Structure 1
Amino acid sequence: MKQAGIFLALVIGALLFVFSCENPFAPGLKHDFEGAALIVTDQKTPEDVLINFKYAYNFKDSLVYADLLDSSFLFISKNFATEPITDLTWGRDVDIKTTVGLFRHFQTLNLTWEGTVYARYLNEERTLKEIKKVFSLVIDGGREIPTIRGEALFVFKKKLFSANDTTGIWRIIRWEDLSSF
């Protein structure tokens, strides 16, 4: 009887230990420690999407990145290699393929959001929001490629699961790179 009690105490202790541990190799969900959001969020706000965007770039995580983009996503930039300068525009599939190539080609990426120029809702329902951000992107520690600094204009759309839903997630429907290299 005494051995069964000791065995039961060991099993309970082991279970408590196992369930109190976190996996250091798995991204955490959003937690708030002294106001700082950590790692992967649930995308309940456009700002959460930007946290995940930064995470995807910094950890070169194409799965997290793909989940940021709405099916109607559009990327817009300028092609400074042409004379005259032309527009570059592509959709979600090309953007994911291009970003995966970027993630594979460089050893390190360090994206930093340096500030918000403005943020505003685009409709009364508050399901479309535009945010203009200032950013810097350091590639491979900045040894061979200078730090890219610029502005990006994002439009986010809240995906509602029903007409009365208030818990939908946000995704990017438009990203305009306003950088001028």
Structure 2
Amino acid sequence: MTDPRFPGALIMPFEGKIPQIDDSAFVAPGARIIGDVTIGPEASVWYNCVLRGDIHRIVVGARSNVQDGSVFHVEGPRPETEGEPTIIGDECVIGHMAVVHGCQLADRAFVGMGSVAMDGSRIAEGGMLGAGALLSPNKMIGKGEIWIGRPAKYYRTQNEAQIAKIKFQTDRYCDLAQSHLGQLRGE
């Protein structure tokens, strides 16, 4: 199934759940949005991303960006648990080729390129999972903390310059999304 607002992207219902995508969001050609997925205002999902909400829900907050090749999935319900949705807050940055699986990110959280955030993990407001890091199941990155490595461990707390850089990245991706959308529409 396609959506005329997002040419070249696959927007597919699954078992009666239809992706809900704000009109101001950008979904790039080649992206796959499946099932119980909500994408907020001015959010962007870039080329060749997969957001598969087939056994639980996925939410991408306002002005958050999911960069090229990233994969979002969820942990479905089991007899002993309700499962784990993937919930991304507002103004989050998800780097290229990240895997975000059944975890939750508060506003302005950052997941670096090639990182993996696993089931039940949490990243608090302004927290950062460094590039290439692996956040094990049920781990918690605190407010403003930087975690790096495989498995990820606390490194230090962000300074004001790093917090400003995340804000810059959010603003840049909102602008880039509009530019790419204009190109796709021939404007």
State TM-score, norm by structure 1.
0.25
Q: Which has the higher contact order (CA 8 A, sep 6+)?
A: 1
State TM-score, norm by structure 2.
0.25
Higher helix share: 1
